[in-house]
Amino acid sequence: MIYFDHAATTRVLPEAAQAACQVMTEDYGNPSSLHALGKQAAQRVEEDRRTLAQALGCQPGELYFTSCGTEGDNWAVRLAVHLGRHRGKHIITTAVEHAAVLEPCKELEQQGYSVTYLTPDRTGRVPAEAVEEALREDTVLVSMMLVNNETGALQPVGEVSRLLRGRRSAALLHTDAVQGFLKVPFTPKSLGADLLTLSAHKIGGLKGSGALYIRSGLRAEPLLRGGGQEKGLRSGTEPTPQIAAFAAAARLGAQRQSEHIAYLHDLKAYTLDLLRAQVPGLTVVSEGDAPHICAVSLPGRPSQVVVRFLSDRGICLSAGSACHRGKASHVYGAMNLSKAVRDGMLRISFAPSNTREEADALAQALTAATRELVAAGR
């Protein structure tokens, strides 16, 4: 099986699986228990928090474990508007955010908030100038993802942060860095982010684990109330196996980050050159600024049909975000692409485990798809 859908999820790294297994079978105590096994588990959670913080480039006390990126995004949006509730009810975000940001914003609109959705250009990028034009005195939150999960476009989060400081805006800055973590170099401080979301299964960790960075000094409201875990902000027994796997994956990713980024840039460039040369009618919609994601289209060939064609031949990729579940992508719609191009969109997302030989196989399969689908009248 050839897998080019790493933006959807990644294979769990052996080291991450081993860490989770050790915690499940040996260090399995409840971190809130006062006996020796509980204290051992609590110590392991804090060690893993330090490991993740080192990989991200922040203080351990600024990281709070969550169940996923979606939870982190929801928490960040709600926390920002709560902290700004006395200053205003205006939010700025982009039309190409993950649904985990867009859906909470839509709900807040129903509660009387005003939300400005910034549209991207044809490459999927939203310029910082658009944020400046939309900024108001009552803006309490700017939420802009770092790397788009469908195009690989890198958004100007750091530039937006400098803009907010220059305008002396009190708005908090949140970035969904799920697709950017360990794929592009950054720290929360270098971005100027107040809130930042991560997800473990995008970097070789387990599904069901994530983290939210909350800048030191913000007085956060609890997301979940109960037993007081995560310094009282997110109660509930810590998912220690997932946390251990997340930390292990982050440690490895940080150690090999420069090597992996260079390899992925090279492999993506090779793949795109190959597809341009070999696949009739293929259009490269976004080369992607991030090293691991690009978007192409076979205009006039329904992407779902092409995805099934490739799957039947042992090649996995997607038409866009797995969260769309077959629905039209709001990201591609916001980019003002023609209907034919939108209907034929394919997202290719890489990992260091992919090879040029696999890229060759993809090019051959897409060439066969164009030929056979034309013959079949599809």
Residues with a known catalytic role: 323
Q: Is 148 within 8 Å of 96 (Cβ atoms)?
A: yes
Tokens 């933006």: give the residue. 7
Asked whether 178 and 69 are in contact (CB, 8 A), the reply is yes
| Rounded distance between C-alpha atoms, residue 323 and residue 148, angstroms | 14
Residues in the chain: 378
Closest C-alpha to 19, from 55, 38, 39, 47: 47
Question: What's the CA gap between 75 and 101, in Å, rounded?
Answer: 10
Burial class (CB in 10 A: 0-12, 13-18, 19+), 372: exposed
- Compute the distance between CA of residue 116 and CA of residue 93 in angstroms, rounded to an integer: 6
The whole-angstrom separation of Cα 137 and Cα 147 is: 27
- Tokens 């050790």 — which residue? 22
Residue 196's nearest CA partner among 64, 99, 94, 284 is 64
Contact present, 62 and 215 (Cβ < 8 Å): yes
The DSSP bridge partners found for residue 93 are 117, 143
